Amino acid sequence: LIRPGMPADVTVAALPGRAFTGRIDYVYPTLAEGTRSMSARVVLPNPGGTLKPGMYATVRMTADLGETLTVPTSAVLQTGERAVAFVDMGGGELMPHELELGVRGGDFLQVLSGAGPGMRVVTSAHFLLDSESNLAEVMQAMMMQMGTSGTSGMEDMEGEADPMPGMDMDAGDSVRPDSTGGN
């Protein structure tokens, strides 16, 4: 996204409160193998020789992506293998949607697929939702396995046959927020 001629706003750690505006002069065509990062040359005015070689600087550039669908970064639960957002389906029902993400801009992530315009997503309490959904998946798998293997070995057990009282799992269940959760 970075191209020669783009404006670049620069701040330097050694010069707090000062900002410089320059432009991208050249984008080097190679990647640094260790960091997978690229270098660019920024041309800046240097009145009075204030900027010195070796100073640490932060460079901010803005690229126009056009109109694109985004969600707050806090709405996305990244597991390492996939990115998930919990979508409000109405009536207090939440459903996890796997997302394909694009670029990050500030506190927002571009959504390439998996969600659509107008969908409401949960932006907090993800730990609780993720834990509950993982627990639901594990319990459902355990129930299915127990259903196929019969109850051998459990006939002599006293008490309820339900291994986790209060856990009523059906294949169609979805994650629902509890009274402490929220959107």
Q: What is the DSSP string of 94-112?
A: EEEEEEEEEEEETTEEEEE
Integer CA distances (angstroms), 116 to 4, 27, 36, 45, 55, in order:
34, 35, 31, 44, 44
**pLDDT higher than threshold 70 for residue 170:** no
Q: 75: how many CB neighbours lie within 10 A of its CB? A: 24
Of residues 122 and 180, the one with the higher pLDDT is 122
Radius of gyration of the chain (CA): 26
Phi-psi map region of 174: left, alpha, beta (phi>0 left; psi -120 to 50 alpha): beta
Question: Taking a C-beta distance cutoff of 8 angstroms, is the pair 43, 20 a contact?
Answer: no
pLDDT of 91 reads: 87
Question: Taking a C-beta distance cutoff of 8 angstroms, is the pair 42, 3 a contact?
Answer: no
Rounded-to-integer distance, Cα 30 and Cα 32, Å: 7
Comparing CA positions, the residue from 87, 89, 78 lying closest to residue 123 is: 87
Tokens matching residue 65:
């992506």
**pLDDT higher than threshold 60 for residue 14:** yes
pLDDT of 23 reads: 95
Burial class (CB in 10 A: 0-12, 13-18, 19+), 149: exposed
**Which amino acid, residue 70?**
T
Mean pLDDT of 5-24: 93
